[in-house]
Structure formats: structure tokens, C-alpha cells
Amino acid sequence: MPSSRRMQAEARKAGRYIGIGLATAQQRSVYGPTEFWFWYDSPGLTTAPESVGLSLGPTGEFIVTMFSPFWGNSPETVVAQTLAEEFGIEPSQVTVTYEDSQHALPSAGPGGSRMTVMLTGAVVGAARKLKDKLARIAAHQLEAAVEDIAFADGRAMVRGVPDKAMTYAELGLKAYWFKLDLPPGMESGLEARHTYDHPYLTKPSADRKDLGAFYPIMGHGAHIPVVEVEPHTGRVRFLRYVAVHDVGTIVNPKSLRGQITGGIAQGIGMALYEQSAYDDEGSR
């Protein structure tokens, strides 16, 4: 940052105190629990799954049921957006609900920056199961092959013949209230559930010298604050703050910006208003 260096040099000539900080980080995310095996003599957990339930009602409403708690990480936005992309609808058309632990499918919950990846995997898995049934119903009604059914614009349609289609409301109505219009042997209703385990996971070696693979994603970031400190009063003023992140595929830009901005605010608060005190032996 040449301009910041010039500003710093000119300020010091005038008796002003300006500092430039630099911090870089590599952030692992979506942990696999084999990471924690180094704590144990015998093998520990080997999976940390995430699950969702999915239904399409008789009037075309999509409902996603989550089994993990809300923890400030935009899970409802993630599942609504993912499902909307799968079926060609607006996220506002998706209702997100929660189930209690007594009735839930496997869920490890928030932690380790994992929920976007894990919920997306669970929603896509459930959506594909639901699509299989929807495609069979649509193919049966439209006199087409199952493999020729596509999903977009709020409809199931025959590929190459977009006018030959059924809305999700029409499919839902058939599935719930017109049993005799369904393919032979198909049960009523439109529901699917899916449990997702991320595939990037290998076991550690017996001697724990090789912990294996347990993080499928690595993010990179660099932060550069330019800060002026008034020597007589201790007042701190941020003149510039630059944050650069390599995050890979972005699912929701607004949510991403919120995470980065929140991290900056938390870091400033910790540096200026909080304290971690240690004694001479490094204990708190």
C-alpha cells in the first residue's frame, strides 16, 4: 500500500502516530471429526452429518424442515436459496421450519464454518429424491419418458416441449388427492428426507502421525488496517481498512459480506476493548 506508507511518513514528520498492520490467515472449514482423533488412544467419531426434510404440498408450497439450531449463520437463507435454484422458483416461495431433537434426523449443528456446505448438500439430496417422484408423476400425466422431464420456472416440463408442462401446484394436488392419477404402485404425498456427509474424509494413521483429510475447504484472507493513535489521549482512529478474501464459490454475496464485516467489527472490539491476561507461566 504505497499511498498508506507515504501518508504514514508524512504524518510522522508532523508528529502524528500512524501504524499499518497486516494479518493473513488460512481458514479451514467444514470439519470432519477425525480431526480430533489425536486426543484419543482409540478411534473416535468418523462423521458429522447434516439433514433436512423436504415436502411439496397440495397447493405447490415448498417446506424445508431443518434439524439444527439457528446460530447467526444464515441457514434459512442457504436452504431457501438452494431449493429455489433446484426447482426454478423464488426463495420467498420456500418456507423453512425446525424440528425438535426428539424427532430429528442426524445433525451435528453449527460449528467449524460448516453449515452452508452441509445444508446445501442435504437440500440437494432431498430435492433429487423429491424430483424423482415428481418426474414420475409428470411423465405419467404428460405421456412422456421420465428422463425427459425437466424442472424450471415453477414447473415440471417435457424437454424440448415447454408448453407441455405441469405446475408444482398441479403436481402437488395430484400427489395428495388424486391417487388414481398417479403411476401404479405410487403412494400419495410428496416428501423426502436426506442426510449428507461430506465426502472429503480419510482416517488418521494408527500412530496419529498422519491425521488424514478432514477439511474439504480452505479460505484465504488478508487484512490491512491503517490506524492513527493520539499519543496524549490514546484515542484511536481508523483511517483505512482493507480486507481481501479468497473464498472460492460464493453462495450468497450479502451473507458473505455480513460475515466479513462482522469479523472485522469483532476483531476491532477485541483489540481495543477486551483483554486476555496471562501469568508468567502462560496460564490465564
Q: What is the pLDDT along the chain (284 residues), one digit of tens a residue?
A: 568 888 888 888 888 899 999 999 998 889 888 888 877 777 778 888 999 999 999 999 999 999 988 776 789 999 999 999 999 999 999 999 999 888 888 888 888 788 999 999 999 999 999 999 999 999 999 999 999 999 999 999 999 998 999 999 999 999 999 999 999 999 999 999 999 999 888 888 888 888 888 888 889 999 999 999 998 898 999 999 999 999 888 888 998 899 899 999 999 999 999 887 888 887 76
In this prediction, residue 21 carries a pLDDT of 94
- Note the Cα 115 to chain centre separation in Å: 4
Calculate the dihedral angle through the C-alpha atoms of 82, 86, 91, 96, rounding to the nearest 10 degrees: -60
Strand 217-229 to strand 23-29: parallel, antiparallel, or no bridges (unpaired)?
Answer: antiparallel
The domain ranges of the chain are 2-30+216-273, 50-196
Please indicate whether the domains covering 2-30+216-273 and 50-196 agree at the CATH topology level. Answer: yes
In this prediction, residue 216 carries a pLDDT of 87
Domain 2-30+216-273 sits in CATH 3.30.365.10: yes
Nearest to 162 by CA among 182, 144, 136: 144
For the whole model, what pTM was predicted? 0.85
How far lies 168's CA from each of 157, 159, 177, in Å? 10, 16, 14
In this prediction, residue 82 carries a pLDDT of 96
Domain 50-196, second-level architecture = 2-Layer Sandwich (3.30)
Rounded to 10°, the helix 75-87/115-142 angle is 30
